[in-house]
Structure 1
Amino acid sequence: MPALTVPLIAPSILSADAARFGEEIKAVDEQGADWIHLDVMDGHFVPNITFGPVIVKALRPYSKLCFDVHLMIEPVDLFIEPFVKAGADQILFHIEAGPHAHRTLQTIKSFGIKAGIVLCPATPAQAISELLDMVDTILIMTVNPGFGGQKFISSQLPKIKQIRQMADATGRDIRVSVDGGITKETAPLVIKAGADVLVAGTSVYGQQDYRQAMNALRGTDKK
């Protein structure tokens, strides 16, 4: 299916005030967010540690929006059920995190939730060509995963375009999401390339007016 006319905004709570995660989720929900993006890091697959299923479960009551849980962990399969039980609406995992991505997608889908695959900047689009019949979301990292606030890697723009074309060719309703260095300057570039979900951390949570910040990313602030 073609990209959405107006992209979805998924604020990443990694950039929010960690002492007020619940209130910060409620705030962006009330100000017009579409999804809530939760970055799970294990200190192994990426050089940082964030939180696990217990925290996700504690945050679930603060919003009914899609909890878009991005697992930057290795191995993945052992943790799928705990995150589903914690309240994940969609689980994303990295193609680089293990040899049996198809099985992991099957496991996620078996719980009746949506499944997504993630590509690091060095991973080519073709790496997921055999998985397109199962994914609901494809997330392209435009920074190397592990930390918020990094600079956008512009060489990923052709890959976003290629993945959009691959997704559209399936005839399925696949969202193309982009995460990393998304600002009001880079957002139009990724939207033009075919992204229809923008994961944004500091460009939302680093601003005083969350609604205005999200509309700026959508490009609707001038309409």
Structure 2
Amino acid sequence: MAAQISPSILSADFARLADEAAAVADSADWLHVDVMDNHFVPNLTLGLPVVESLRRAAALPLDCHLMIAEPDRFAPDYAEAGAGSVTIHAEASRAPVRTLRAIRAAGARAGLALNPGTPVDGVADLLGEVDMLLLMTVEPGFGGQSFLDMVLPKIRRARELVRKSGLDVWLQVDGGVAESTIERCAEAGADVFVAGSAVYGADDPGAAVRHLRELAEGAARGE
């Protein structure tokens, strides 16, 4: 699969979200929305009302990443609000199969996220319930963190599990993805890349997205 880039609005100007979404509309595949509740992670960002408004204003489909303590309760609401993809954390969900199926039933792609210290083999049996597996390459909660190289073997293991399953599961990475790290992620098997400050910290966010895509696709081809 060709590389997909999902710019994270966590690094965007929250006072200009519609403009920031438009800046990458012609170059990105998704718009990544980090929802944090100050319980599951030590930060508070935006919630469902902002997602509903952004959905009306943004041309790109929304890739909602729920870093919240009660994903089983709230995840379907984000799908019903029009998100194209909704990802819950394995560490927070008490009923992941039910919740993932509810997300799909509401019309969105279902994603399952793992923190850096969570083994990927523990969710191998859930691959048939997900459209995307998200591996955090930083500890979730704040943007601008440094990439954790310790996750690279886990990306390779996840790609191996997906390949063996024969399922069409996307493998996303989130955290510290930039020019200096995206090639390593692609070589390890990731195909969907969340990039925050590497996109919105650039003078031209659209050009930054295109450059990151070129790097990822070149690395995936072994160039």
Give the TM-score band, short-chain normalised. Answer: over 0.9
Post-superposition offset of 1:219: 2.6
Contact 2:11-2:197 at 8 Å conserved across structures: yes
Matched position secondary structure for 2:129: coil
> Are 1:92 and 2:99 counterparts?
no
Matches within 5 A, 1:106-145: 106-145=101-140
Structure 2 counterpart of 1:27, one-letter code: A
Q: 1:220 to 1:163 in 2, by over 3 A?
A: closer
Post-superposition offset of 1:128: 0.9
Q: Structure 2: how far apart are the matches of 1:99 and 1:88?
A: 22
Q: 1:162 to 1:220 in 2, by over 3 A?
A: closer
Which residue, out of 14, 19, 24, partners 1:18? 14
TM-score (norm 1): 0.93
Matched position secondary structure for 1:116: strand
Post-superposition offset of 1:151: 0.5
1:152 alignment partner in structure 2: 147
Matched position secondary structure for 1:121: coil
Contact 2:79-2:107 at 8 Å conserved across structures: no
Q: Structure 1: how far apart are the matches of 2:97 and 2:82?
A: 23
Structure 2 counterpart of 1:101, one-letter code: P
Quote the sequence identity (%).
Answer: 45
Q: Which moved more, 1:126-135 or 1:100-109?
A: 100-109
Unaligned runs of 5+ in 2: 219-223
Give the RMSD, CA atoms, in angstroms. 1.6
Post-superposition offset of 1:170: 1.8
Deviations for 1:42-73, whole angstroms, at most 9, x for unmatched residues? 00000000111100011112223221100000
Structure 2 counterpart of 1:189, one-letter code: R
4+ runs deviating over 6 angstroms = none
Q: Which moved more, 1:15-24 or 1:206-215?
A: 206-215
Unaligned runs of 5+ in 1: none
Q: Structure 2: how far apart are the matches of 1:219 and 1:132?
A: 28
Which residue, out of 199, 203, 206, partners 1:204? 199
TM-score (norm 2): 0.93
Post-superposition offset of 1:220: 5.3
Contact 2:33-2:62 at 8 Å conserved across structures: yes
Contact 1:77-1:107 at 8 Å conserved across structures: no
> Are 1:103 and 2:98 counterparts?
yes
Structure 2 counterpart of 1:54, one-letter code: P
Deviations for 1:174-193, whole angstroms, at most 9, x for unmatched residues? 11000000010100000000
Post-superposition offset of 1:216: 2.2
Q: Structure 1: how far apart are the matches of 2:85 and 2:93?
A: 19
> Are 1:57 and 2:52 counterparts?
yes
Structure 1 counterpart of 2:7, one-letter code: P
Q: Structure 1: how far apart are the matches of 2:46 and 2:167?
A: 32
Post-superposition offset of 1:112: 2.4
Structure 2 counterpart of 1:14, one-letter code: L
Matched position secondary structure for 1:198: strand
Q: 1:220 to 1:75 in 2, by over 3 A?
A: closer
Count residues with an aligned counterpart: 218
Contact 1:188-1:219 at 8 Å conserved across structures: no
Which residue, out of 57, 75, 88, partners 1:80? 75
Deviations for 1:95-122, whole angstroms, at most 9, x for unmatched residues? 0003321121122122122100000000
Contact 2:72-2:93 at 8 Å conserved across structures: no
> Are 1:8 and 2:7 counterparts?
no
> Are 1:34 and 2:29 counterparts?
yes
